Amino acid sequence: MGKTKKAWGGRFGEGTDTQVEAYTASISFDWRLYPYDVQGSIAYARALMKAGVLTGVEAGRIIRGLEEIKKELDKGRLDPDPAHEDIHMYIEGRLIEKIGEVGGKLHTGRSRNEQVALDLRLYLRAETGEIVREIRALQEALLDQAETHLDVIMPGYTHLQRAQPLLWAHHLLAYVEMLRRDGARFRDGLQRVTVMPLGSGALAGTAYAIDRAALAEELGFPEVSRNSVDAVSDRDFAVEFLAASSITMMHLSRLCEEIILWASTEFGFVDIPEAFATGSSLMPQKKNPDVAELARGKTGRVFGDLIALLTAMKGLPLSYNRDLQEDKERVFDAVDTLRGTLQVLAPLLRGLRVNADRMRQATEEGFLNATDAADYLVSKGLPFRRAHEVVGKIVRYCIEQRKRLEELSREELSRYSPLFDAGFYTYIALDASLHRRAVVGGTAPKQVRKAIQVIRAELKKEMGKK
């Protein structure tokens, strides 16, 4: 039956079934929390000493023991036997093995329920810092692309139909904005991550004189949790993290979808660097955008992680329930997927080769300047709704005649309105169209250059803060 004697085995006459051990164990994945578990335990040992539970000598031995265990684990020396249950029991067991009975004093007044909550919070604080940095690196890659191609014009789309001309840089800056909100969401979430739960005990609060404020300070958390029942039950911070991850992945997936389209022969707008593309086992000519496709595909995993945790939470009575152990694989999967995607997309974007001629050609067909033609009539005093109709009719004529708006003669134009004169042709030119959109947030080159400066300055300031 049972393989090992359990730390909690006192009230049991029988060992644990091995299948149950395998089913309930979390050590195969929660080993990733070990640096944080050790950090939390060291802080807790100090708190126990201050509370008079441990002597200075005892606390010293425990802390040194924990530091040695951390070193062992850094070297990958973990025994992943499910009989150990989880990383918390593993480290405690190893501590007692190393320093003897006194190691058994560490868990005085403490529960794994608060311990695991702290570990996950410490872990998410660290990962959030990395994610914020990686989001910024991707923004820089997009900004560099935008800045080196400030003169590239592309068709802008609505409904995936050519709509109005845009600067390619302006289009890229849209993603910089999405990522700006993503970074802000992760940073904001930190407020709810960095709440210190130790002292909550199993659920009712510890009976020992633990200085919770000092513990929070030692761990660099600005707040202590205010209710012990909530502290061991709450996973809002993890749900929020998964929501922020999902939204970021949704943005990355949209970007990847566009890269896939742009790299197709049909569009031919960009070339993916060869080191970031893949071939076909059968078709010798193929160069496929697998990285972008996988990023799009993996987005579903992260959405799944969010829904899985929300679903695990929705029926839980207070306070701790073992269901909460299911949070970790979801969080780890989201972290790995999001960070892996951010890391691979930054160099891919930097290496993207832009086919400026193809993009410009694409703006020449599809009447992208039809709005400008209507605006031209408006500038001559025609109400917009009438101008819209006139230009609509002209577009219809152009389609029949296989002509562009700028190819129509003055005589042809005059059949639709007496307001047309020689100024029409310069008014509807691509560059004029771009330059007129000079509002804040518009695609006029002057505004786009300014937008790049503004976001660069913001990123620099943000980096200074960290």
From the CB of 334, what's the least distance to ligand ARG, in Å?
A: 16
Identity of the residue, 31 or 168, whose beta carbon is nearer to ligand ARG in the bound complex? 31
How many Å is the maximal CA-CA distance in the chain?
Answer: 102
On whether the CB atoms of residues 419 and 382 are closer than 8 A, the answer is: yes
Quick one: which of 21, 58, 86, 127 contacts ligand ARG (CB under 6 A)?
Answer: 86
For the chain, the residue count is 466
d(CA 236, CA 192): 8
Compute the half-sphere exposure of residue 78: CA atoms within 13 Å on the CB side of its CA.
25
**Residue 161's beta-bridge partner residues?**
158
Cα of 95 vs its chain's centroid, Å:
37
Quick one: which of 178, 324, 345, 394 contacts ligand ARG (CB under 6 A)?
Answer: 324
Residue from 159, 246, 264, 414 carrying the catalytic annotation: 159
Residue from 28, 280, 379, 414 carrying the catalytic annotation: 280
Residue 236: burial class (beta carbons within 10 Å; 0-12, 13-18, 19+): middle
Antiparallel, parallel or unpaired: β 195-196 and 161-167: unpaired
The tokens for 156 are 């802008």
Q: List phi, psi (to 5°) of 5.
A: -75, 130
d(CA 101, CA 211): 25
Q: Is 206 in the site for ligand ARG (CB under 6 A)?
A: no
Site for ligand ARG in 24-63 (CB under 6 A): 26, 30
From the CB of 92, what's the least distance to ligand ARG, in Å?
A: 12
- Whose structure tokens read 């197709």? 264
From the CB of 2, what's the least distance to ligand ARG, in Å?
A: 16
Q: Is 325 in the site for ligand ARG (CB under 6 A)?
A: yes
CB under 6 A: which stretch of 48-56, 321-329, 373-381, 445-453 binds ligand ARG? 321-329
Give the list of residues 6+ apart from residue 147 with CB closer than 8 angstroms, or none.
169, 452
Q: Is residue 280 annotated as a catalytic residue, yes or no?
A: yes
d(CA 428, CA 187): 45
What track of x and - describes contact with ligand ARG for positions 362 through 381 (by CB under 6 A)? --------------------
Identity of the residue, 4 or 325, whose beta carbon is nearer to ligand ARG in the bound complex? 325
Which amino acid, 11? R
Identity of the residue, 155 or 199, whose beta carbon is nearer to ligand ARG in the bound complex? 199
Q: Is residue 379 annotated as a catalytic residue, yes or no?
A: no
Question: Residues binding ligand ARG: what is the number (CB under 6 A)?
Answer: 10
Quick one: which of 116, 178, 252, 459 contacts ligand ARG (CB under 6 A)?
Answer: 116
From the CB of 43, what's the least distance to ligand ARG, in Å?
A: 18
Q: Is 112 in the site for ligand ARG (CB under 6 A)?
A: yes
> Which residues lie near ligand ARG (CB under 6 A)?
26, 30, 86, 112-113, 116, 320, 322, 324-325
Q: Which residues are catalytic?
A: 159, 280
